[in-house]
Structures are given as C-alpha cells and as structure tokens.
Structure 1
Amino acid sequence: MKPDRRRPSHPQEVPMPRSTPPHPPGKPPAGPTRSARWMRVWQGLWLTVVPNLCLAAAGDIPDRPEQLQFPPLQYEPPDPAAHRVVLRSGPVAYVIPDRELPLVNLVVLVRAGAYLDPPGQEGLADLTGYLLARGGTRSWAADDLEERLAFLAALLNSSLGDTQGAVSLNWLSKDMDEGLQLLREVLAHPRFQEDKLALRKQQLLQAMKQRNDHPASIEAREIGFLAHGDAFWANRLPTAASLDRIRREDLIRFHRQWFHPSNFVVAASGDFDRDAFIGKLEALFADWPFTGPPAPPVPTNTTFAPPGTYIVPKDINQGRVSLLLPGVTRDHPDFFPLMIMNDVLGGGGFTSRIVNRVRSDEGLAYAAGSSLPGGVHYPQPFRAAFQTKSRTVPYAISIVLDELKRIQTEPISNDELHTSQRAFIDSFPRRFATKAQTAQLFAQDELTGRYAREPDYWKRFRDRIAAVTRDDVLRVARQHLPLNRLVILIVGNKDEILLGHPDHPVSLFDLSPGPVIEWPLRDPLTLQPLGEPKPITPGRN
C-alpha cells in the first residue's frame, strides 16, 4: 500500500510557535511573556484606531474628480538672460550645464531654408541640409565619418526646413574635443559627395511619385496653395525638373553663402563646466574659412483664396475636410485670447466643442478638432478639420459651422474658460522639462527675434493666459473668424459627397458663401494642375 502523499509517512515533530515555548513536565504553563502582552496591546490598538482613521480619511475624499483640490503650482521659468552668451566669434549661444548624464548636446540653428532657393532650383536647401551630416567632410569620406560616429556612440544630424535649419550632435562628454572637431568639419568643410547626392535625389524623386497616393498629403499641399496663394515662395515646391538642375557646385555655393557664424544661434547643454565650454565654443567658430551676408527677411506676401468649397476628387471611401480662415502671426496682440478661443472650440481634445459634437455626440469621425498656430514670419490659417464617411461630409461640415457661429454669438462658459486656462498654465513647466529643451527653446526665440522684441515673454506667459476673459474670447471670435471668407477644402469621392446622407438632408451648396468648385489634382512630378478648376452646380455633377 502506497503511503498517503498528503501527510508524512513517519512521525514528525511539529515545531511550536515562538510565542509559546515548551514548559517543563509537571509544571503549569507560564503566563504570556512581556513581548506577547505588548503584541496583544498593539493588535487591539490596530483593530480600534486604524479603521476609524480610514473612515475619517474616506470622508475627505470628494465624490467627483473635478472636486479634487491641489495647492497652487509654484514654478518660475528659467531666465534666458542667465544662460545667454554673445560669442566673440559671432553666434549667440545658450549654455546650460547638466551633470545628470555624461553626455553633451549641441544644436547649431541656421538662418537659412527653402525660402532662399533660387527659382528653378527648388529643393536646393533641402539637399544641402540633408547632406551636411551625410555627405562627408574635407577630412572624412561619408562612410568613414558614419563609422567613426558609431564608434563614439555619437548622433549627428542636419536639416534645412522652410525658414531655418539645424545641425546637431549628441556625444559622450569624455570625447568632448573630438566631437567638437567633427562638428567643425561638418559645419565648415562639408564634402557633399557625388554618390550621396545622387542617392538622395533618387530618393526624393521616388517620394515625389507618391505625392498623390495619400489624401492627407494632397490635403496638406492644397491647404498651402489656398491659404497662401500660388505665387507665394512656400508653394514653390521641388519638382523632377528642379531636382535635375541641382549640381554639387550649387550645394557648395549655397553652403558658403549662408553657413557662417553670423547666421548661427547655438543651444548647448550637458556634462561640462560652463566657462570652460564657452571657451570651446569660441574656438569652434573662430577663424571661419569664409564670410557671407546675413540672411534676408522671410517674405510675407500671402494671398488667401476666394471663399468657396474646393473638392479634390479622390476615389476613397472617406472625405478629408478642412475649413480654413485667414490666421494671424504669434505676435498679434489678440493671440492669447485666440489661443483660449481655439482651445475651447476644437484644440483642447475631448474637452473641446468640435470634438464633442462631431466625434462624441454624432460618431461621425475618430479625429476632429481645430488649430490656430500663429505664424512666426507670416500668418498661418485657422483650420477646423475632420475625416468622415463620404456621404456624411456635408452634415459634419454643418455641425462645425454651427460651432463656429455659436462661439461668435454667445460667451463661452466660466467652466470652459477656466479649464482652458488651467490646461495652458499647468502644462507650462513641461516646456522646460530638460536642460536641452530649455536651451533649444531660448535659441529658437533668439533666432526668430522673439527674445529681442520681448525678453520676458515666458515670464509673462501665464499671467497673459490668466488675464483672458469670456468677453475677450467673444470679441476675437467675432473679429478673427470671418465666415464670409470661409474656404472649405475636401479631398474625397466627389459624387458620393455631393449626394449627402438621406438621414441628414444637408446640401454642400448651402455651406459656403462661395461656389462649389472641382479642384484638380496636380501632376506629382511637375505640380501642374491636371486640368482646370470647374464650378459645380446643383444636380449637375
């Protein structure tokens, strides 16, 4: 017979608890020890006091999240003047030590970009910026430089956008001098290798061929044309012909014209002594091998399209919709009330009106909202946007229009105002979350002229948000949302969109103050329209 595995097969001594030690035979057991008596006292206190404390604490817990109260946030932003250095070699630098990790982060901002592309050579700035870090230097072939950077665990990057560029290096502080030497080579002596240039041009050409594949790309491009005009420099986009005209000599000439210290602003943070690192920055930019003119101002001659509804035909089952109105620059005196207005209207996520109406209440779109970015150099448009099924496009537009009208006719609620203000004020410290973020934010302000115009901008930011009133929001909504200038851009199935939805009898022809126009696609390689704009009349698609 097999032994029962649930119990031992032979007698075992069962250990006694420590609190009841064995006593000699023939004698009565001793009373509880002093430690045991104290244990019982503590157990009694625990069973009596702790539940009462829990009940008292539970009584202090609010019933709803919005009833929670917190002490006021005490935070003062860094002072840019405390980190600003005008280098004798030319650039302004923002230098902030950060000993948390043995790393150095250096960003050189450049006043240059696509707005400086010569006519017929659109794409030159983009190629120059891309190949600075990837096309080799005077002393390093491109592949050898990449290998050396990998050995140093260093990250090098470069790019040029529309109005500015950046060359950045992140590396270990123990390799301080070598990292700075490599950065000097990239900034002052780029090679722009022919093979790397040819490869990049081929990559850009392949990307051009896909310009019309995605409705979001079409929408973004046509917003630029409608909001700024065909003749505006930002709409002189690269084409196959303009890429073909660009030679290595053009990159060298563009670089030598604009990449010199008087066009640089530097952001530096990391594991270094501040004074010693400033000396290294002086050496980095000293004795520059060439000079050039200061970058000219960015042109601002935008032209907003006539009001109307512009449909770009695309055989897809959903329509992408943007409602556009003329915008402002970020320096406009009404910009802070406009920030609150846009946040309440559609920029504040699930607390905003457009999101609640279009997404939450009607279920017409996963994503909906609005933006009013405030242009740095020229106005950027107000935009309300969503994507919905083709036949619900007119109905969804009508809902957004209702909200645009409502915010112009009745004040926002106190709750909406306070929620928006708290969102801006409470998230404010995130702008300075790291030393690198702080240095780069201050460098951006230097590059774009904000620091020169208003050195205490960030110190006053929260007070300006807090000073906005409901009447301010109503006033700027009436002034800056002129619906008689409304432009509606739709990318989608024209015939389905014009049909509308049987449960929501809204006509596209009743939504805009202007005509409904079939807006042609553009050839992806030439960007020339594939046809002429055609007015659409009701019943004749």
Structure 2
Amino acid sequence: MNHFKLKAFKFINGNNTMKTTIVTLVLASIALPLFAAQQTAGTSVPKRPEEIKYGPLTFDAPDATKFRFTLKDGTAVYMAPSKEFPLISLSMTFKGGSYLEPKDMVGLAGMTGRMIREGGTTTMKPAEFDEAIDFLATQISANCGDTTSGASMNCLTSNFDESLKLFVDMLRNPGFDAARLETNRGQALEGMKQRNDDAGSIMGREWSRLMYGSDHFESRDATEASLKAITPENMRAFQTRIFNPGNVIIAVSGDFEPEAMLAKLNAAFDGWARGEKMADPPAPTATIVPGIYHVQKDIPQGKVRIGMRSIKRDDPDYIPYLLLNDILGGGGFTSRIMSQVRSNEGLAYSAGSRLSAKVYYPGVFAASYESKNPTVALAAKIVLEEMDKVRNQPVKPEELETAKRQFIETFPRTFESKPAMLGVFVGDEWTNRPKEYWKTFRDKVNAVTAADLQRVAQKYVTPNEMVLLVVGDWNTVGPGDSTGRAKMADLLGGKVTHLPLRDPMTMQPIVKMDQVAPTAPTPGGEGLAPSR
C-alpha cells in the first residue's frame, strides 16, 4: 500500500503541468460562483482602492460592571473567560511604586520588583523556583513602577492550580535571596556606569528635573550609594506594604469557569493579611523656569525637547488637547511639525510632539526631534512657529476631520483583546476614571470644533512659558545654520543656561558650568569650551 502511495506522490509532485491544472480548477470552482453571485446582485468590482465604500463602524464599548466580581475579602476581580486556547492569563495590579521610596534609597522599588521574581521564596531557593515554573512552561513576572506595581502569570489550563500556588507563594513569601541580590546589584551598578554614553539618557533625566523639580520622585535617580544601601529587610518591608490584598485589583482571562476561578482565588488569598490601600502620589511643588537649557555632549546631532506642563487626564479640555496635539505633532506624517521639519526642510528624520496628561497632577506637553547641530536652532524656530500658528489661526477643516477619524476609527483597538480590555478596567478603577468616559468618548471627539482647539492652544501651548532643552555640542549648536536663518540667540529670549553633566554613579555635577571657560564668541551665539 505504501508503495502505491509513494508512486502517486512522486507522480503528482513531479508533474508541474498536472499541478498547475489542479490548482486552476480549484480556484475556478471557488471564484466562478462568487462572480456569478456578484453579477446577480448587480454589484461591480471597484476599479481603484479609493473607490471602495465602507459601511459605518459599529462598536459599543464594553461595560466594566459585567466583568467585575469580588472575593470574600472584598478584593476586586475582573474576569473574561475564553475557550479559544487552553491558556490562562492572570495579573495583579497594586497601587504604589517609587514614590514610596525613602529619598536616600532611590532604586528600592525597582530592585524589590525584580527580586520578588528572582529571589526565590522562603521555602524555595531561586534556582528551585525557576526550575519549577520552567517545568510547567509557566511565565511569571513582577515589577514596581513609578505609581503602580504588578505581577503576572501565564500558564496552561492544565497546570493552573500548581502555577497559582507558586505564584501566590512568590508574592506572599518572597525570599529575597542575598546572593541574587548581590548579582542584580552588581548588574545595576555596571549599567549605571554607561548613563552618560547615550544622549537620550541625559535628556530624560535633565528634562524630568526641569519639569518636576529635582526633589520630586519622577526626577530622582538611583546612585551607587542608594543601591548599596538596599538590604533584603528593606525590600521585605517595601513589598509587604504594597503587595497585599488590601491594595490589589486582579484580572483573569482565558480558559476557565468564573465560579471555579473565584473559589481558587479565595483559597489562595485565605490567611493573607489585608493591608492598607496606598495614598496617591504627591504632586510636584517646583515651578518651571522657562528658557533655553543645554547639556554639553560632543555628538554630531543635537537632541532637542521643547515643552511645558500640560493638564490632568480628567480635565474637560483633555480631549480637545488630544486632537490639537495630533494635528500639531502627534499624528506622524499628517502632523504639521513632521511635515515642516522633516518633509519640507529635511532637518530631522523624525519630529513630533506628545501629550502626557497624568492622573494625579498635570503631565507634560513637548515637541522633540534630533537634528545636525548647526540646524538645531532652525528646526526649533520652525517648531515654535507652528505652535504660534495653532494659537493664532483656526486649524483647517480637513486637519480636524483627519484627527477625529484617527481617534474614532482606532477606538475599538483599546479593547482589542480580553487582557487589554481588563487592563483598561483595572486602570480605570484604580484612578477613578468617570464611568461614562468610554461610552461618550467618540461623541466628545466628534463635538470638538476648530474654535475649541484654538482656545486650548491659547491656554496650554504658550511658547514664552516653555523650556527648550538641547543635548549637543554648543559650539556648533549656538551659532545656528550657515544660511543665517536661525541661531539659538533668536529663540525664547536668547539666554541659555548651561547645565552640568552629572557623574553617572553619584548624579553630582562633574563640573560647574560657571567654571567652564568659554571659547571665543561666535557670531550670534555663545561659545563653550569642552568640559575639563
């Protein structure tokens, strides 16, 4: 029998003509009925893609209350069962993060999150724990961020019970193994040495200081001293404070029955001390000082950020501000900044703007780009001009319509998967987002007018109140471009504050900028000698 099968296989695969004929007949049998049905219906195939007509998009935002349950101790659980795959995804989101660190122990949050996962448990050495979850093909992680912390588990349905036991043991009884701590501390210290290698790292830390003040948790950086001060006892106290049933919301999606899942979670939480819910993060108290700031780094392209504090997420102007940012610089190639700086002038590969509206205090609005040092000023001039235009002139109807379609037509992607949907619900509950927000979002987007955008621009996009930060070589940035179209002295009053480069291990200034001797002044700009 096998002999005849083999001969038939060789015959068909060796005869290209026969293969082509078979494929043609199959395709014809599929296409002809479809073509006939189409002709019967009186429709025709569009000649060009732009002639294709689409029906209205119908999508209703899911109701979070239909997915919300509670455990016996009152812990909120969002569940979305699905039988697509024999997999279960479970995540726990805790309130609290680096804003709870002592000021002399910056880095404690990040190290604690890492060590919860990598430090074993009180009954299992790190290697034993790693081997156990590897054997089950289970993925487990833990982290501590700025304002929230979390842990997640992905496993097969068949070994969920065993995986959950290991997962909860890790959260309730982390081992914080001393040897693993030293390994992770050593890796962090080695990485710290490269902080000044990347201009982006310098930009990020100095920008945070300018926006929030050096004392705010968003601006604090770990140092060699602060990392060396961390002990297993410090981490255990930090973990106990944040990782407890009184400070968590759970999300579960995948192959399970809701009642059975609730029973398993109730059993897992049994006896786990219920702590307190963490307080909200503190708002920054520093006041922004507008102007030009610079950090010296000998690189061919200057990194630039121009911006100011923005608004809170639940501000009524948030949605108009979103649309304004999309038109100004957030919409990629359709945005004005990208069009002018890259497409028309060729000054940067990428240029745009971003609106960050935080929950507990105003976030930041900023434009950013990278350009050759001599053209940094020209690109900045163009960006500031575009900001002035949206303040002084209404946006075009087609710009507003494009921005609206962008948010309305991509709206369903917010809930494109069950884990993503549950993540939205968890985040909304933690931050008390208005319950009607998602149901009214598209209507509010549609209701925005060009006059709304101009009003928001005049209120929140004020160039004379902005910070312009440059990381690059000031001797070539300051004078501007060779054609004389712009120089740094022309922008935001012209005065520049040279910020010191910081020691990567201590975050203390390597050299005070008022002790750096300037080079001979260049026409239209300040000179700066290399740091000694």
Given the two structures, how large is their TM-score scaled by the length of structure 1?
A: 0.86
User: What residue in structure 2 maps to residue 362 of structure 1?
Assistant: 345
After the TM superposition, which residues 90-489 of structure 1 pair with which residues of structure 2 at under 5 Å, given as runs? 90-288=74-272, 290-450=273-433, 454-489=434-469
1:256–1:291: 8 Å Cα contact kept in structure 2? no
Query: Unmatched 5+ residue regions in structure 1?
Result: 1-45
CA distance, structure 2, for counterparts of residue 122 and residue 279 of structure 1: 39
User: Hey, what's the Cα distance between the residues in 2 that align with 1:315 and 1:368?
Assistant: 22
Post-superposition Cα deviations, 1:409-465, rounded to whole Å, max 9, x if no partner, equal 111111111111111111111111111111111111112222xxx112211111111
Query: How far off its partner does 1:58 sit?
Result: 7.2
CA contact (8 A) 2:479 2:526 kept: no
Q: Which residue of 2 aligns with 1:530?
A: 510
> 2 CA distance for matches of 1:181 and 1:285?
10
d(CA) in 2 for partners of 1:334 and 1:138? 50
Alpha-carbon contact 1:304-1:326 (below 8 Å) kept: no
Pairwise CA distance, 1:293 = 3.0
| In structure 2, C-alpha distance between the alignment counterparts of 1:415 and 1:501, rounded to whole Å | 34
- Deviation of 1:236 after TM superposition, in Å, equals 2.1
How far the C-alpha of 1:299 sits from its partner, in A, is 0.2
SS in 1 for 2:284: coil
Structure 2 gap segments, 5+ residues each: 1-31, 528-532
Contact 1:307–1:514, Cα closer than 8 Å, also in 2 = no
Counterparts in 2 of 1:107 and 1:354: CA distance versus 1, 3 Å: same
Amino acid at match of 1:491: V
Identity %: 38
Distance 1:336 1:246 in 2: 42
Shift in Å, 1:505: 2.8
Q: Secondary structure at the match of 1:346?
A: helix
In structure 1, the partner of 2:27 is none
TM-score (norm 2): 0.88
Query: Alignment partner of 2:163: what SS?
Result: helix
Confirm or deny: 8 A CA contact 2:481 2:487 kept in the other structure: no
Alpha-carbon separation, structure 1, partners of 2:142 and 2:485:
52
Contact 1:257 1:291 in 2 (8 A): no
Tell me the C-alpha RMSD between the 2 structures: 2.1
Counterpart of 1:347 in structure 2: which amino acid? G
Could you say which residue in structure 2 is the equivalent of 1:32? none
Give, in whole Å, the separation in 1 of the partners of 2:45 and 2:417: 39
How far, CA to CA, are the matches of 1:422 and 1:258 in structure 2?
A: 41
SS at structure 2 position matched to 1:369: strand
User: Structure 1 residues 513 and 539 mapped into 2: Cα distance closer, same or farther (>3 Å)?
Assistant: closer
Q: How many residues align?
A: 486
2:92 and 2:224 map into 1 onto residues whose CA distance is 31
**Quick check: 1:502 aligned with 2:482?**
yes
CA distance in structure 2 between the partners assigned to 1:112 and 1:540 by the alignment: 45
CA distances 1:216-268 after superposition (whole Å, capped 9, x unpaired):
11111111001111121222221100111111111111112222101011111
The answer as to whether partners of 2:94 and 2:249 remain within 8 angstroms in 1 is yes
How far apart are the structure 2 equivalents of 1:226 and 1:58? Answer: 60
Deviation at 1:381? 1.2
- Aligned in 2, Cα 1:145/1:73: closer, same or farther, shift over 3 Å? same
Partners of 1:92 and 1:265 within 8 A in 2 = yes
C-alpha separation between the residues in 2 aligned to 1:447 and 1:438? 15
Q: Whose radius of gyration is greater, 1 or 2?
A: 1
Distance in 1, matches of 2:46 and 2:175, equals 69
User: Counterpart in 2 of 1:513?
Assistant: 493
Q: In 2, distance between residues paired with 1:73 and 1:484?
A: 42
* Contact 1:395–1:504 under 8 Å retained in 2: no
